[in-house]
Amino acid sequence: ARARNKRVDRVPDKHVIHRLADRRPEWYSKIIEPHGLQPPNRD
């Protein structure tokens, strides 16, 4: 089995994403924290 590519070069040498190295797990809790926003009406 071959390993998946963990690096994405959208624009070579300008816009590169490292799927594992660019993760920020310390921010994950901030994304899922409760908030005071009301959901939109679905009438």
User: Is residue 8 a contact partner of residue 17, using CB atoms and an 8 Å limit?
Assistant: yes
CA distances from 10 to 6, 33, 36, 42 (A): 13, 31, 36, 37
Backbone angles phi, psi at 18, to 5 degrees: -105, 105
Give me the pLDDT at residue 31, please.
79
Q: Where are the alpha helices (H) located in the chain, listed in sequence order?
A: 28-32
Instruction: Report how far residue 4's alpha carbon sits from residue 14's, in angstroms, rounded to the nearest whole number.
Output: 22
Q: Summarize pLDDT for 1-35 with one digit per residue, the tens.
A: 677 777 778 787 788 888 788 888 888 887 788 88
